[in-house]
Structure 1
Amino acid sequence: MGEHGNGDPQSDAVIRAGDGKSSGHAIDNPGLPPHRPRLADVDEKAAKRAERQVSALFLISIIGTVMFFVGYFVVGVTAGDLEMLRLQNTLLGLGVAFAMLGIGLGVVQWARALMPDHEVIEDRKPLRKEEERAEAAATVNEIVDETQIKRRPLLRNTLIGAALLAPLPAVLVLRDLDRSEDFGVERMRHTIWEEGVRLVRDPTGTPIRAADLTVGSVVHVVPETLREISGHGERLAAKAKAVVLLIRMQPDELAPATGERENWTHEGIIACSKVCTHVGCPVALYERHTHHLLCPCHQSTFDAAQQFKVIFGPAGRPLPQLPITVDDEGFLVARSDFTEPVGPTYWERGYTS
């Protein structure tokens, strides 16, 4: 192949770069590129300007947290006041956004403009001797010095302020999930269902006669007493626990019940909680021929003909059944409240099947 060689690595010359010394590699390691100092590294005015920029971003974070507090504590919202509700949501949303964005951008600008940017290659070695531990501590102190946090008090103080205030909105939001003093598992053990309360259609509030239900009917129902609760939030909370599915099938399609459950149905009409026992999604999909109820969130499947037992999916227990009967006028009413907690299963409940 002439002067280009024949492709044999044993006979072809290997072109090498470097200082002429053999290194065993086709191309010698060029090493790190020369460090190019930034403007802030050589000009103290530029460094001060960068410090003010970082501090300004930390101040924006602090202002965002204050904005959240104003929306949370100062702006009062009453039922039906949509304008104040929009204002509060705007302040809460923008406040959290500025609080997180300000501190995030501030740290990025701090690292980009002020912290050392030179590359260093250092071999790791095990710490076995006391002097090596001291060397590691000195390295940590050197890193702290490189951040310039000691010699730039404005930057340090605004960072501390932003870091202390930024988590508070999250703490308040989590705390506000439930402000009631009796928060706990016991609250889920009871709903507003009780003996004699009529089952009414949701959302019309129409009472339901047993004779009006045909085989295969599925009705979403709530307690008639729900409308007696005046507060909008309290009414929604009560409804969330008390929503029920009412199903009618042929009486002989129901699996024989034992014990107290023998009187929980009426002529093939059976009722259960709509709240899935997995994570609380609404169970509302009914397959008439198999009598299966499906939760659309994670596909937990319950058999309505067998006291709503779990036949598939991640749910840990059957849907709680509501004992029902009819009153003197033929309307469906509850015999009692649910006899077990509604909603997801938690270990604190001590449920046993």
Structure 2
Amino acid sequence: MSDDKLPVKAEEEGHGQVEVAEPIADPGIEPHEYRITDVDPKAADRVERQVATMFGLAGLLTLGTCVAYFAIPRDAELTFGPLSGNANNMTLGLTLGLALFLIGAGAIQWAKKLMVDEEISEERHPAHSTMEQKAEIIAAFHQGVDESGFTRRKLIRRSLLGAMALLGLPLIVFLRDLGPLPGRALYSTIWAKGIRVVNDVTLRPIKPSDMVIGQLVNAAPANLAAMQEESPVEYQNSKAKSAVIVVRIKPSEIITPPGRENWGVDGILCYSKICTHVGCPISLYEQVTHHVLCPCHQSTFDLADGAKVIFGPAARPLPQLPLAVDSEGYLVAQSDFTEPVGPSFFERG
């Protein structure tokens, strides 16, 4: 007996009976109802203009986002009764948000009023496709492109492409918020001749006698603290670039690179604290091997051998700061670093 001719059953349930009817026959696809845009070319053209207007306004709002980014001061405020907010951020959010909304609304209007909306049915088939089925899929894709009107309706196509192209402009403009271009910012620090080396926590100047063999100290230039109140932003930038590590090694275990014979003081050497891979701060020191490890990507440097790279992705040794002793017996810099500090983003000979 076939499934579509199941007999009526009676099942006992409590004190009554429940009848189980035959399955409902497949009703098929309902007759297609034509929209006004399907039968009236003027209505279709009107909708096309509406969609193009939305896409055009989206493009103008995107341009407005870029203009507002530069034209409205960053500290300008907007007040609405008890509410207030940053004018720059609010304008950027409104213009870019409305642009995205109009692109979405235009796409919906286009799909509902102009694209073909006839329902079709398709028999289930195995998960894999035969060559004939693949050809049918490609043909159906091209048919869908034709039925969408994307190739025929030039006004919609051009306005959409224009709106989408302009949408990339704010992404380029917003790159400015990542900060200034590095340029030659890493080529110099606030270290200079005669600047004392101080502990980066206590700010106490360091004497050679304060350090024992095997010790590593995180340090900073003495002129850094004065910048904190004068210019907080410049203070942070200078602190990031000028951070150093000071280590004391037995002089007999040090391999001095040529030209650096007088850069240390009784086995005390000073190197940049910033890893030359991507700029992570380092200070994980193993005194037996004289190796210092970067915790981010495990670049390892030999401080007894010019801080050369012995493992990891770093491309160059840690820059070394030349040291000397001033008249009061404190460690001072002979000069600034002789090479850029920080990550090796720049081309080097």
Kept in 2: contact 1:302–1:310 (CA 8 A): yes
Relative to structure 1, is the Cα distance of residues 36 and 300 closer, same or farther in structure 2, using a 3 angstrom cutoff? farther
Q: Shift of the alpha carbon at 1:176? A: 5.5
Q: What is the 5 A alignment of 1:153-168?
A: 153=155, 155=156, 159=160, 162-168=163-169
Alignment partners' CA distance in 2, 1:161 and 1:214:
68
Q: What is the 5 A alignment of 1:45-60?
A: 52=50, 56=54, 59=57
Q: Alignment partner of 2:285: what SS?
A: strand
* Alignment-mate amino acid for residue 249 of structure 2: M
Q: Alignment partner of 2:304: what SS?
A: helix
Kept in 1: contact 2:218–2:245 (CA 8 A): yes
Q: What is the 5 A alignment of 1:26-37?
A: none
Q: Alignment partner of 2:223: what SS?
A: helix
Q: Which residue of 2 aligns with 1:199?
A: 197
Kept in 1: contact 2:116–2:147 (CA 8 A): no
Q: Which residue of 2 aligns with 1:308?
A: 307
Q: Alignment partner of 1:191: what SS?
A: coil
Q: What is the percent sequence identity of the aligned residues?
A: 37
Structure with greater proportional strand content? 2
Q: Shift of the alpha carbon at 1:283? A: 1.9
Cα offsets for 1:5-33 (capped at 9, x unmatched): xxxxxxxxxxxxxxxxxxxxxxxxxxxx9
Q: What is the 5 A alignment of 1:1-353?
A: 42=38, 52=50, 56=54, 59=57, 63=61, 66-67=64-65, 69-77=67-75, 87=86, 90-91=89-90, 94=93, 98=97, 101-102=100-101, 105=104, 109=108, 112-113=111-112, 114-116=114-116, 123=135, 146-148=148-150, 151=153, 153=155, 155=156, 159=160, 162-175=163-176, 177=178, 179=180, 184=183, 186-202=184-200, 205-227=203-225, 229=227, 230-252=230-252, 254-346=253-345, 348-350=347-349
Kept in 2: contact 1:222–1:243 (CA 8 A): yes
Kept in 2: contact 1:285–1:294 (CA 8 A): yes
* Alignment-mate amino acid for residue 324 of structure 1: L
Q: Shift of the alpha carbon at 1:321? A: 0.9
Alignment gaps of 5+ in structure 2? 1-27, 77-84, 121-132
Q: Shift of the alpha carbon at 1:320? A: 0.9
Kept in 2: contact 1:64–1:95 (CA 8 A): no
Q: Alignment partner of 1:277: what SS?
A: coil
* Alignment-mate amino acid for residue 292 of structure 1: H
Kept in 1: contact 2:206–2:330 (CA 8 A): yes
Kept in 1: contact 2:255–2:306 (CA 8 A): no
Relative to structure 1, is the Cα distance of residues 97 and 275 closer, same or farther in structure 2, using a 3 angstrom cutoff? farther
Q: Alignment partner of 1:235: what SS?
A: helix
Q: Alignment partner of 1:262: what SS?
A: coil
Kept in 2: contact 1:211–1:330 (CA 8 A): no
Q: Alignment partner of 1:315: what SS?
A: coil
Q: Alignment partner of 1:293: what SS?
A: strand
Q: Which residue of 2 aligns with 1:17?
A: none
Q: Compute the RMSD of aligned alpha carbons.
A: 4.5
Q: Alignment partner of 1:348: what SS?
A: coil
Relative to structure 1, is the Cα distance of residues 326 and 174 closer, same or farther in structure 2, using a 3 angstrom cutoff? same
Q: Alignment partner of 1:310: what SS?
A: strand
Relative to structure 1, is the Cα distance of residues 60 and 146 closer, same or farther in structure 2, using a 3 angstrom cutoff? closer
Q: Which residue of 2 aligns with 1:134?
A: none
Q: TM-score, normalised by structure 2?
A: 0.64
Alignment partners' CA distance in 1, 2:110 and 2:287:
63
The total of aligned residue pairs comes to 293
Q: Shift of the alpha carbon at 1:344? A: 2.6
Q: Alignment partner of 1:70: what SS?
A: helix
Relative to structure 1, is the Cα distance of residues 258 and 57 closer, same or farther in structure 2, using a 3 angstrom cutoff? closer
